[in-house]
Structure 1
Amino acid sequence: MATQTPATPTSTSTPQGTPPLGSWSLQAVWPFSTLAQAQAWERAYRSSGHQPWHLDPDQTALAFTRDYLGFKEIDRVSKRTVSGRHARIGVAPTGPESGTAAVIHLVRFGAGPDAPWEVVGTDDTTFSLTKPAYGSLVRSPLVTGGRISGVDETIRVQVRQPSSATPLGTSPCCTPAGGNDQPWNVTVSFSGARDPVLTVVASTGGHVAEVERFTVTAVRTG
């Protein structure tokens, strides 16, 4: 799924036939909603060094978790794998008993050597969000679900978009869940969607931190 690198390093254009995220199926979750926004940042960075953190997948993953999702207690990188234009960054709360909360998948948005990192989803293991399907068209109310392993889990679901500081919708707190690879389902209503891609995030916690694990998927409204 790697994006082809153009012959001219200063170009921000994507080679003909090559999608800006390296695959037509990948969705731009955060921080940029469109390729034009990512290219505007590239121009600002080249002229003035604006927001250099976009070139660091660790910083981008933590900013996504803390600033966009609002999980302030998740403030460290627990694992990282960077391969070409893809990165998988594990994030976790501080504390000896706190494990990885999620592994965030990022991709370079565009084809240039200074294309910024873009969150496209999470790699899930013991807590997954498989409904609605990634990249699918949705409307409110939204039925969400997946599978979870754990004891005395409490699941909350939110719908977010990059242009809004607050969630478009939040499920009532909280849906009990647990067991070994057991299904879970939560319905959430939302309104005010205007961005091309929305983020659905499910979280659970309450044992050693308010949010101990989370999972996200990307959906569209039109």
Structure 2
Amino acid sequence: MSARLDHLVVLADTLAQGVAWCEATLGVVPAPGGQHPLFGTHNRLLALGGAAFAQAYLEIIAIDPAAGEPGRTRWFDMDDQRLRRQVRAQGPQLIHWVARVPELARAAAAWAALGLERGAVLPASRMTPRGLLEWQITVREDGQRLLDGCLPTLIQWGAVHPADALPASGIALESLSLRHPQAALLRAALDAVGLADIVVEPGPVALQARLATPRGAVTLAGFS
């Protein structure tokens, strides 16, 4: 299988806070995103594609106060009260990442064979100025990210990829490194779907994304 890093997920207490964080940290205002009615969330997006990670982007996501309760657990552990308190106290944080695959069911089955239940494959969509954006994504009923956010959510896009419509940001993702006490399991899972370019090390939980920006190198770090 040939999975690729699709996007990084930064959780913010509010979307306005996430936009301000992005401008202060990276010097760029993120592009408009949209609403996710299925999960009661909304986002803003920033292109990060470069030589190492084509079509990669940054997603800043927050609970949409106008959406009301979604009637199900939100994705990316967004209903986890400890995580929400941490983001409220410390500001927006890199909490997760998403990998795109050409055959979602096959990739999920490969992880299930390792004892990693990534969750049901759900169809999702949102409207954009260029039309309907459609994808399939793995989401557990409990909304958990697994392995403290180091194991990516899996996604399979339809005919259109959101990065194709994003304006150039002048920022590129150079590397993503992961640290976890279960490093051997995490490494096996990534290798099973073709994600050999992601660095995995044993140790306390950490996610680190190194970005090249007009201001120089910036590292986004997330911790459990």
Fold conserved between structures, TM > 0.5: no
- Which of 1 and 2 has greater Rg? 1
Structure with bigger helix share is: 2
